[in-house]
Structure formats: structure tokens, C-alpha cells
Structure 1
Amino acid sequence: MTSEYSELSTCNSSLSGPYLQDLCSGSAFILFMTILETYIQASELISGKCERMTPVDNTETVYDYVIVGGGGAGAVVAARLSEISNWTVLLLEAGEDESAAMQIPSFDEPLLGSEIGWNYYTTNESHACLSTNGSCIWYSAKCLGGNTAHNGMIYLRGYKQDYDEWASMGNEGWSWEEVMPFFLKSEDNGEIERVGSEYHSTGGPLSVERFPYIPSFSQSIIAAGIEAGYGYSDDLNGDVVKGVSIIQATNKHGVRRSSSRAFLWPARNRSNLHVSLNSLVTKIVIEDGQAVGVEYDKNGTSNSVNVSKEVIVCAGSIRSPHLLMLSGIGPKAHLDSFGIEVLHDLPGVGENLHDQVSHAVNFTINEPDIFDNDWVAASEYLASQSGPLSSIGLSQVVMALPSSLTTSDYPDIQLFFEAYVASCAPGEKGALKSSGKRSVGVGVGFMRPKSRGRISLASKDPFVYPVIWSNYLDDSRDVTGLVEAIQLTLALANTSALKAHNFTLSNPPLEACSNYTFRSDEYWACAVQQDTLPEWHDVGSCKMGPASDSMAVVDHQLRVHGVKGLRVADASIMPKVTSANTGAPTIMIAERAADFIKNYWGR
């Protein structure tokens, strides 16, 4: 059977989980997934078993640079700094390497909540997540590649206005024109002849292209969007920034390209780059206002390492401010309350946290709810990395639309569709299982939330999770944006393109919203607060801004205000979230950080 499949790996090393059989339930399905996992691990084109970094068991006593976190940003920074052969670089990652299963695009959703996640929960929500007692789960990956190893791979940069606003807030060098070269630096666009070279490039480490498999129902969604007057864009990263589109994603020929696979794996033979896994940094060591090293726990054993140039924190919007506070950098009164010595009073640490939020609107269509993952689909993927397993199904169809809160050229609503995913179980999220009909979910998202939350300590013990106050939907404008997005979604059902499929709303009326007329604006305003879906595009908790901004944590070159030799380089530095998915902007931020460091140290 193996002879007909793509190149087989000759490496004997085992790969860490999660494994396909761990992500799915049902005895018959577990057997199917166990067999599929065996073949996925054996395929070098998919698993990349022979191309991976070999982690070190023991580190040196001192490095030029220590990078905290090997996620979407940290992997990029480590790879770029290690390009300078006489610089020594240590990357400390709290989790494991990404698994073979994570390379399959269709399995992005089952990975959520698995062993490679931190799996936080928000606390004390007053206006959101009410159906789950005011608490929503907050996924964040714990592995090399971070969220880029288990997200939907959607490659959207946001809009010119996003970055020009960053620059207008006192962040020199962050306007659209100034950040664009750093998007292009990473990119290796596999469809450059279609999308053109004005907004795209080739030759970078990060493969960007459409998935090999696009469900045929996508064309009906596109036709409906055009018929409803929403417009069409062949490339939402190009000239036409609104309308319905089939997006590009960080994959290469149907295999995921995380930041780890794209940037770290090609650097695997560099002797000046060390990667230590299962290494949770517990403290940044600061002496006389200078970062001089870190302390970390590796598999239950305490360790420390010194740094001769810089510590770069790339632990994400939850862990980065958490680590700064544990290290004595943060709001003085808050640190004092936990008995932490205040080394630098920086009130903005942990503040300005925000995340995009969505609500699921579900429909059924007049075709059976068949299972998209079977031996036919599996064989096709193993042989040529094509077919249903090679994509995220209908989720690659996105609509970018403006609400009444913005201008027509600056969309703040995103509709993304969910169906035809070859994953674990029949049916999609929100399906009416008893109907026997295929469900099509629409995630309606408001992409520029006004609500702001914060991260605070629950303990000075680094192994105790911080408290996440998301404050979702605290600002009523966020509810307004979501309700408008829902009504734009419902209007699609009235198009002839979708009426042909009997595209029918399947959300049952919520008892908690029974005081309102079903489908009215008032009803949906109630519903979004009951069933709130975080997008896990959290940003802002180590805000970038000038020293004159009392809530800024880092300056325009990502240096922590008031502490030498310490930078933060991840999504936490965004003063405001971009108007789309945050994977591509996070990689751009990492590229900028590496460039700042090289320039500062004369390289």
C-alpha cells in the first residue's frame, strides 16, 4: 500500500503528539485514524520528520540572545538572528515540537483544546459568554510554531489604515508603507502570476497560496455575495479590500507551513542556534536595569542561562505580560500585592488586551450530511496532498464587509464559512444532527473591537495561570457590529444562488433571549452575548508606544521602556488589532524585531 504514496521518511525518530487517534472519538474511527497517523508520520513530504530541529538537552551557560517562546514570532526571530554565524541564539519553548497531525490542514479545529494548548479561560464576563457562566475558553498553542501550528492558516494582513494608525500613535516606522517590505520579506507566494508582485513576493521562507482543494459549494457562496451587492475580490491583500474572496493560506501544496516549519526547519544545521523544548521561562533576570539572563523550568528541573546582548520575549499576549510581571516589570501596586520586587513600574503591562469576537449563525442545505473523511479522501491526501484533507473546507471563503461604524474602504466585518471539512466526525459545528442535512456555519466576526481587557496575576507562582479579563462586548459598539454582521449574513439566504440549495437558518431561538422577537436586532444583540465565540486573535497587552504614553510597554523598536537589553516581539505589542486574522501581522512584527536587533548591533 505504501508504494503508491508520496516519499516515505527514512528517519527513525518519533514525533510527539497530539496524534490523530487522540483527537477523535469512537472505536471504529480511532482505528481508522491510527492507521492514517502511521502513514502521515511515514510521509516525509507531510510530516517532515527528517527536516526538523534537533532540540538540545543541555544549554550553554551564556548566549548572545535568548528568545522566550518559539511560537508564531519567536521561531522567526530565532531563525533570523542565527543568520549571523558568530551570534549564539537560544530559543526556549515551553511545549513540544509540532506533531505530524498538525501538518494536515483539515485538522485545525480538533487540535483546539488538545495537549498542545494552554487552554485558558476568561473570567467574570458581564456582557459575553453568558451561556457558559460568563467564561469563555481562550485557546493558545504551546508548541514550536505556536498558533501558526494549529490555526486556520488564513493569510490576511489587515489594511493600510490599521498600520497608518499605529504610526499616528507615535510609533515611528510602522506605517503601511514601512511595514510592507517586512511582509514581502517572508513571503514565497505560489501564485504570483495570479496575484501579482505589487503586493506579493517570492523567495521568502513562508509559503503562501490557495489550498489545493476548494469545495464546489464555494462558488455558490461567491455568487451569493456578488448577488447581494457585497462585491468580489480576487485578493483581499491587494487593491480590492472588500467583498467575497477565496483566501490564500500558509500552506505548500496542501501541507501546513507554520512559522517553525517555514523558518526554523531550514536553520536546523546552524551550530549557533539551540532550541530547548519543555522549557518554561519563569523569570527574566534583571540587574541594574539590564536584562542579563533568564530562569526556566525544564521537565521539572530549575535552570538558568545568561545573555550577553538581549532577551527577546515572544510568549504571546497572555504569557508575555505574565512573565514581565513575574520578573518585576509592571504596575507597582499590583506587583506589591503579590510580594514581587518592583524593578520597573510600568503600568501598561497587561493592559489594553483585546480580541476579535464572533457568533455562529448556522444553516442547512439540501444535501445529506455525509462524512468528508474516508479512505478515498485519505488515500488522495497521502498520494498527492490533495483532496478534502488538504484544505480547511469552506472556511477559505471569506467576506470582508464594512459596518455602519466605518467607511466603505475600511471593512470591519468578516464572515467566514464552515463546512466540507474532512475532520473527525460527520456534520459541522452547529449542525442539527437529527435533520440529516449538511450544515453550513457562518462565523460572523467584528474585527475592530472597542472593548478592552487586561491580564493580571493570580499568584507569583509562575505555574499558576494568570487571570484573563477579556471584557468582551463591554463596549456596545462591538454588539452593534456583530448584529449588523448577522443581518448581512441572513441576507445571503435571500439570494437565488443560495435559495437553490434551500439555504435555511437552523439556529434555534435561545430561551435566554425569549423576550425579543426572533431574528430582530434586539434578539441578536442578546444572542451574541449569550453565545460568544472568541477568535483567539488576542493582542495589545504589551502595547507599543512612545515614552510619553504612560500605558506603553515597548517603544517603536520593541524595547521595553526603562529596561535595557529586553524586547517584546509578538502580537502583544499591537496598539490596536489589525482588521483581519493576526497570523501574518505577527510574523511581520517578528521580521521587524530581527531587523531592529541586527541594525542596533551593527549587522
Structure 2
Amino acid sequence: MQYTRGSPWDYEEWKKAGCDRWGYRDVLPYFIKSEDMQLPEFVSSPFRGKGGPLAMSSGYKSEATQLFIQAGQELGYNRTDYNGYDQEGFGELDIPVVADLPVGENLQDHMGLLMHSKTDKVETLNADLMQSVWAKIKYRLFGTGPLSATSADGSAFLHLDRNKKGHVYPDIQIINIFALLPNIFGFTEATAREIVPVPGKGFTIYILITKPLSRGSIKLRSKDAFDYPLIDPNYLSDTRDVKTLVGGVRIWEKILQTRPYQDMGLKEDEHKMSFCSQHEFRSNAYWECYIRHVAVTAYHLTSTCKMGPENDPSTVVDTQLRVKGIKGLRVVDASIFPNITSGNTNIPTVMVAERAADFIRGVDSVEHIRKRIKSIKIVTD
């Protein structure tokens, strides 16, 4: 699992939207509380925690990811701890209404592109490696080696305009997956024949938009609680999301031109698809067509019970996660995010749960952490 808190600017955005005491300096102690940092290079960081229930370790580092990091450095990006100082309503269904709130609106999710590259010049996760005796021995005796890895072992957060670094959240997350992925997203047979690589050796770069502007919804299908809901993610309805992903593709193109990737003989031509052949390959129009055909979800659905001020009609819960107009009911999950965070949403959800526990018990379990980090400089200060 990838440990990602999101950008400090995400929480400043929440605060500016009226979520008092949800700014980055307010939530940072809860991230620290839940963490047990086991990486020597980060143990002494004031942004990191020790002794919490979530152990942080690095495990196996694939050669493909080491080259991914080298490529980023060649392009002028710093190698960094991106969890540290800076991260470069109901319808008409005859259901009695207790509180008329916009539940199900404001649905947000991260979308991305899976850009595969075939190569036999670096070790990647494939059938031969998975079945190798040496890999099995390493895992069974020592809990190490490629079988101990998640396959997604490298990540970068990047601004399309590098002048915005340190002033706002990144635009793009790029995840390095040292494997070629099968058709796990349900592409049609015709599309899969082109877009899904045949089993073999290679890796995948997953390009994700961090702050999508498109908004979807979840609505009830009927009065039967067991009926599947009507989910309309409304992906890419805001054309600015498409343009941001095109920007991410342009960074991917640059990565392929770095020495580590050129040494592997990688080419963009693997992504020349017939379903966009009406456009010049690698033009903006081509990549926009490509994105609208094959962009996929990251399964980071959030924000359908939006938190905010009680007088804001777009919100469902107040800043202590209490559902407006209903006594004794709180919502504690990623649906309360006013806006989606930059990156994987698991750890921000843990932070929300830690805060909810304090609200319910009427305690401040992170007072000592807050005092300890009071003097540290935070990028949003």
C-alpha cells in the first residue's frame, strides 16, 4: 500500500472553504500520531511519527523504479519525502425526509492513464520472475525480494508549471508499476487488443490528475436500500481535466527521453492506436482522443457528504463531522472531504477517523504533538 497524505495545500483549501481547524497545521498532528516510521532517513523528521499503528517501511525497490527516480532527477526534479515539508441529495422516491441535504453530490475521483513499456533490460514483475525458485526462497525465508513488493513502488508529484512549486498543490501524480498490467479495468475486447500489452516483461507508468475539476453524483435507484445506486462519475466533463492529463503525458514523453529510459530502448510508438488514427500521433488532439478512450479510475471516490460551515447549502456535515439537522449521527470516511486530496486517499481518511475519535470522546489526543511541532516551518505558512 502506498502511504500518501496529500498536499499541505489540500488542507489549506479545506480551511479556506470554511472548515475551521482543518488546515494543514491542524491535521498534521493526527498524521504523525497514526504513524510508525521505520525508515532510518525519515525517523528524525519532525513531520514523521513513531509508535503509531501504521508502520512505514520501504521494502523491495525494483530496478525499474530506481531508473524512474534517476529519470526524474535528470529532468531537474528533487528526490524528496512527499509526505514531509512539501509535496512538489435525494430524488423523489417517496422516502420520508428527515434532513434535506445534498448527499451524493460533489462526487470526485482521480483519473489516470496506464502507459506501458515493454522491455527485457530491467527486472520487472512477470510470470517467469513470480515462478522463479530464488524469488520464492527470498520471500518465504526472509520476506524480501520481488514477491514482497506491491509492484507500485515509486511515485512522483509534479507541477505542470514548475514556478507554482511551493505555492499550490501538484497537478500530476506519476506512479511507477514494475509490471505490465492485464485488462483489470474492463476495456472492451476491441480496445483491449490494442491497449493491453500481451503478458511479458515491462513496466507501467500511471499518470494521474491530482485535483480533478469534473464533478459527478451518486443517487438512489429506488426505496430499496439493497438496490445498487445510480453512480455518475461524470469523468472528464470539465475539459481542463483533459488538458491537465495531456500535460502529464508530456512529462511522460520527457521521461522516456532521459538516459535511463533511452538505454532501455523505449519508444512512444507502443501507444499509437487505431481508435485515434484520425489525429496526428503525439499531437494534443491525439492525446486528448487517447485520454477520452482509455483513461481509468484510481478508485479514490470522495466528497459526496461534503464537510463545511452549517450555513453552506452545499455541505452535509459540520466541521465536527455531525450530519446537519440529525442528532447523534456523524459521517467518518472520505465522503466528507470538501475536495479530494492530492494522491491516494487512504491516509487522509485515517486522519479523519483519528479526529472523529477525538470529537466523540471530547479529548485532544495530539496536544503533545501539536506543542512539539509548533515551531517547525510548514510550506503553507
Change beyond 3 A, Cα 1:508–1:158: closer
Q: Which amino acid aligns with 1:203?
A: G
Distance in 1, matches of 2:162 and 2:323, equals 34
Q: In the alignment, is the contact (CA less than 8 A) between 2:64 and 2:178 conserved in 1?
A: no
Matched, 1:155 2:3: yes
Matched, 1:392 2:153: no
SS where residue 275 of structure 2 aligns? Answer: helix
Distance in 1, matches of 2:41 and 2:363, equals 37
Q: Which amino acid aligns with 2:304?
A: S
Q: In the alignment, is the contact (CA less than 8 A) between 1:366 and 1:503 conserved in 2?
A: no
Residue of structure 2 in register with 1:413 after alignment = 172
Q: Which amino acid aligns with 1:344?
A: A
Change beyond 3 A, Cα 1:421–1:192: farther
Higher relative contact order (CA 8 A, sep 6+): 2
Q: 2:216 aligns with which of 453, 474, 487?
A: 453
Q: In the alignment, is the contact (CA less than 8 A) between 2:65 and 2:178 conserved in 1?
A: no
Matched, 1:230 2:77: yes
Residue of structure 2 in register with 1:356 after alignment = 110
- What is the TM-score with the length of structure 2 in the denominator? 0.86
Distance in 2, matches of 1:506 and 1:440, equals 15
Q: In the alignment, is the contact (CA less than 8 A) between 2:120 and 2:202 conserved in 1?
A: no
Q: Structure 1, residues 186-206: CA drift from partner, whole Å, max 9, x if none?
A: 111112553523110111111
Distance in 2, matches of 1:526 and 1:553, equals 37
Give the C-alpha shift of residue 366 in structure 1: 4.1
Q: In the alignment, is the contact (CA less than 8 A) between 2:111 and 2:295 conserved in 1?
A: yes
Distance in 1, matches of 2:180 and 2:10, equals 32
Matched, 1:215 2:62: yes
Change beyond 3 A, Cα 1:571–1:597: same
Per mean C-alpha deviation after superposition, the further-off stretch among 156-165 and 213-222 is 213-222
Distance in 1, matches of 2:240 and 2:138, equals 46
Change beyond 3 A, Cα 1:536–1:555: same
Q: Which amino acid aligns with 1:373?
A: M
SS where residue 450 of structure 1 aligns? Answer: coil
Q: In the alignment, is the contact (CA less than 8 A) between 1:388 and 1:422 conserved in 2?
A: no
SS where residue 197 of structure 1 aligns? Answer: coil
Distance in 1, matches of 2:268 and 2:120, equals 12
Matched, 1:552 2:315: yes
SS where residue 367 of structure 1 aligns? Answer: coil
Residue of structure 2 in register with 1:203 after alignment = 51
Q: Which amino acid aligns with 2:85?
A: D
Give the C-alpha shift of residue 183 in structure 1: 0.7
User: Residues 9-158 of structure 1: matches in 2 within 5 Å?
Assistant: 153-158=1-6
Q: Structure 1, residues 115-135: CA drift from partner, whole Å, max 9, x if none?
A: xxxxxxxxxxxxxxxxxxxxx
Q: Structure 1, residues 183-242: CA drift from partner, whole Å, max 9, x if none?
A: 11111111255352311011111111212x111232221111111223321x11113522
Matched, 1:170 2:48: no
Give the C-alpha shift of residue 380 in structure 1: 2.0
Distance in 2, matches of 1:568 and 1:416, equals 30
Q: Structure 1, residues 110-167: CA drift from partner, whole Å, max 9, x if none?
A: xxxxxxxxxxxxxxxxxxxxxxxxxxxxxxxxxxxxxxxxxxx111111111101101
Residue of structure 1 in register with 2:159 after alignment = 402
Q: Which amino acid aligns with 1:215?
A: S
Distance in 1, matches of 2:212 and 2:164, equals 16
Distance in 2, matches of 1:569 and 1:578, equals 16
Residue of structure 2 in register with 1:83 after alignment = none
Change beyond 3 A, Cα 1:525–1:195: farther
CA RMSD of aligned residues (A): 2.4
Give the C-alpha shift of residue 392 in structure 1: 1.6
Matched, 1:525 2:282: no
Distance in 2, matches of 1:442 and 1:420, equals 9
SS where residue 448 of structure 1 aligns? Answer: coil
Matched, 1:578 2:341: yes
Residue of structure 1 in register with 2:38 after alignment = 190
Residue of structure 1 in register with 2:95 after alignment = 340
Q: In the alignment, is the contact (CA less than 8 A) between 2:62 and 2:153 conserved in 1?
A: no
Of all paired residues, the percent bearing the same amino acid is 37
Per mean C-alpha deviation after superposition, the further-off stretch among 405-414 and 159-168 is 405-414
Distance in 2, matches of 1:443 and 1:416, equals 5
Distance in 1, matches of 2:40 and 2:28, equals 16
Q: In the alignment, is the contact (CA less than 8 A) between 2:42 and 2:48 conserved in 1?
A: no
Give the C-alpha shift of residue 500 in structure 1: 1.0
Change beyond 3 A, Cα 1:577–1:398: same
Q: In the alignment, is the contact (CA less than 8 A) between 1:189 and 1:208 conserved in 2?
A: yes
Residue of structure 1 in register with 2:371 after alignment = none
SS where residue 177 of structure 1 aligns? Answer: helix
Give the C-alpha shift of residue 362 in structure 1: 1.7
Matched, 1:467 2:230: yes
Matched, 1:373 2:130: yes
Q: In the alignment, is the contact (CA less than 8 A) between 1:365 and 1:439 conserved in 2?
A: yes
Give the C-alpha shift of residue 550 in structure 1: 0.3
Matched, 1:433 2:280: no
Q: Which amino acid aligns with 2:177?
A: E
Give the C-alpha shift of residue 454 in structure 1: 0.6
Distance in 1, matches of 2:255 and 2:288, equals 20
Distance in 2, matches of 1:354 and 1:398, equals 21
Change beyond 3 A, Cα 1:366–1:373: closer
| Unaligned 5+ runs, structure 1 | 1-152, 243-329, 424-428
Distance in 1, matches of 2:120 and 2:228, equals 46
Residue of structure 2 in register with 1:274 after alignment = none
Give the C-alpha shift of residue 174 in structure 1: 0.3
Q: In the alignment, is the contact (CA less than 8 A) between 1:362 and 1:506 conserved in 2?
A: no
Distance in 1, matches of 2:35 and 2:224, equals 40
Distance in 2, matches of 1:156 and 1:541, equals 21
Change beyond 3 A, Cα 1:509–1:193: closer
SS where residue 42 of structure 2 aligns? Answer: helix
Matched, 1:498 2:256: no
Give the C-alpha shift of residue 457 in structure 1: 0.8
Q: Which amino acid aligns with 1:219?
A: Q
Q: Which amino acid aligns with 2:343?
A: A
